[in-house]
Amino acid sequence: MARCARRPAALPAQDAQAQLPSGVLGHRRRQRAARRRRGRAARLARPRLRRHHGPTRRLGSQVPTALVRPVVASARNRPSDPLGTWSGEPAPARGNTMHRHARVRTRLTRLAALAASAAVAVALTSVAPAAAAPPSGNNGGKDIASTTENYVTTFYPIWFTHFQTTALPVPVNHFIGPTKISPVYQAVVAINDDTLYASTPLDVSGAPVGVVVPATPVAYSVLLVDPYGNVYPSGIPSRKAGEGTQTIEYALIGPDASDDLLGAEVVRLPLDHMIMIFRVDKHIGTEDVTTEAEEFRKGILANGVPTAVKPVEEFGVPVKTIADDLVRLAPIEFLRQTQVAVADDGWTPPLNRQEQKLSDDFDALFGDGSSLTDAERAQFAEGARAAHDALIANYLDHRGATNWTHFTNIGAWKKNVLDRASITEFCQYCNTIETAAYYHAFYDGNGAPLDGSNPAGYVLTFPADAIPDAERFWSVTAYTPNAIQPIPNDIDKYLVASYTEGLETNPDGSISIYLAVTQPDGVPQANWLPVRDGAFNVMLRVYGVVPKSDIAKDKYLPPAIQLR
């Protein structure tokens, strides 16, 4: 790497290119030529499938009602489901103004999201593979249902990241984050209120991206993932509280770009298209440092442009819910969208031999989905739903003796595509075990689904010798059953954490957290975690995993949640 450099005086946004480190712009022509050569090689290697090239797609203004109505109509009458297999979350009880407003926002957001999904389907058909002759007989020995199940399991994360970066108004090479976290936020599953967020899709195919990270006293972590959610070294180090003493410039470059850049730390990305996420702690111990965290977040520059902090409503499209609804109610459309995402070499990384064969096999069977018989459509639907059922079951069944789901291979799945799909569904953009540990409970200690309709609620007690060991913090967040979004409540409280002001310990040094719809008598508000009147789930996060601790060695088992 080249030397560190102090941050120069800020320039106006229109001079953003001028803030790139010296020498960056001179490499643009060679990088574009290399990009064209790689693109030609990829097309020659995959002649059966025309992959999309061109600018980022955005939604059209006209949404055919016929595409939206079947999904909305089918969502109106759904059976109760304690694990939230159906995406429709029961509305809060009537009579409360906040709840009435929440119901209106939920309906509007759901309709807007479904409309967005339909619009994307229309907008992307122009780049889908050409229609193939209807498969017949034994389809060349390829079974439709099993091929489809493998296809969805393998490329499930690609549908998510492609939708998030092309269908939503997400700028490329420009960090953004919500003003706050609330139940309105649904763009990413299992969001938490412990940190401030700044994230961006990265595109270094045409030119380097200059990133300035300001000095700060607060702790933060940096996550770099590819479109599948695989985690890579970010090149921009995470910092503990008090470590970020310097403002540093970085130049992010592509895998084939020249690195003879001056005036910045050079970070070579393994792919041209990736996602970078900053998580900035709002507390140091029990001290609230939200003001300092916000100053740091806004001071992160991408090509000279500071992080844009936007209203949380702009992050309200329920991406997971759209995927669930499409698979259940419109599986052929979900397969079309996935097929387009896989074919987009402006986003999806080059396929390895096994992935390419699977993609080719599926394309040969499916064509563009327009010439299928009813029997074939039923088989494709069966395969898509089987994959979806399997990834959910894999997550819910991946639990220990106290019924907490826990994975230690997040971001490093290797060939375990089922685990990768499961994490996409429930914990997308989660960190590796070296940075954070995640424990997710849908069941109490007796194996019964968590259900807030019990007036007494539940209690989660950490014995004094089993309180999570964390360098940054630990927290417990309650979520709705399917969307995995924070639970609406009258006091806008979504978690109990190690830094929660007034958190009380028991005489024996243990800590009890009470999970109930209303605050139980005699329980401090700090120890109460509001839940919903119905199915819910909770996630324990441990940020700053202590090296060689029981958590790091996968020997820690959170205590069971007990019905009171």
Q: What is the pLDDT of residue 262?
A: 67
Assess if residue 302 is contained within a domain: yes
Q: What is the pLDDT of residue 288?
A: 98
Assess if residue 164 is contained within a domain: no
Q: What is the pLDDT of residue 142?
A: 67
Residue-number span of the structural domain to which 176 is assigned: 169-315
Stretches in the chain below the pLDDT threshold 70: 1-142, 262
Judge contact between 280 and 296, C-beta under 8 A: yes
| CATH code of the domain containing 184 | 2.60.40.1610
Assess if residue 133 is contained within a domain: no
Q: What is the pLDDT of residue 75?
A: 35
Within 148-229, strands assigned E span 176-178, 195-203, 209-213, 220-225
Assess if residue 484 is contained within a domain: yes
Total domains, the chain = 2
| End-to-end Cα, the chain, rounded Å | 57
Residues 438 and 307 in one domain: no
464 CB-contact burial (10 Å; exposed 0-12 / middle 13-18 / buried 19+): exposed
Q: What is the pLDDT of residue 10?
A: 35
From 268, 295, 315, the end of a domain falls on: 315
Residues 175 and 310 in one domain: yes
Assess if residue 451 is contained within a domain: yes
Which residues, at least 6 apart from 374, have a Cβ–Cβ distance to it below 8 Å?
none
Judge contact between 99 and 92, C-beta under 8 A: yes
Q: What is the pLDDT of residue 45?
A: 39
Of 509, 513, 508, 427, give the one whose Cα is nearest residue 474. Answer: 513
Q: pTM, whole model, 2 decimals?
A: 0.80
Q: What is the pLDDT of residue 91?
A: 38
Q: What is the pLDDT of residue 155?
A: 98
Judge contact between 182 and 477, C-beta under 8 A: no
From 297, 315, 333, the end of a domain falls on: 315
Assess if residue 269 is contained within a domain: yes
From 315, 346, 381, the end of a domain falls on: 315
Q: What would the pLDDT profile of 145-164 be if each residue is shown by its tens digit?
A: 999 999 999 999 999 999 99
Residue 451 to residue 481: CA distance in whole angstroms: 10
Q: What would the pLDDT profile of 66-109 be if each residue is shown by its tens digit?
A: 333 333 333 333 333 445 544 444 333 333 333 433 443 443 34
| CATH code of the domain containing 463 | 2.60.120.600
Assess if residue 333 is contained within a domain: no
Which residues, at least 6 apart from 7, have a Cβ–Cβ distance to it below 8 Å?
212, 214, 247, 248, 249
DSSP letters, 179-199, are SS--TT--SSTT--SSEEEEE
Residues 176 and 310 in one domain: yes
Q: What is the pLDDT of residue 106?
A: 43
One-letter amino acid for residue 27 of the chain:
H
Assess if residue 506 is contained within a domain: yes
Which residues, at least 6 apart from 281, have a Cβ–Cβ distance to it below 8 Å?
194, 195, 218, 219, 220, 241, 289, 293, 472, 473, 543
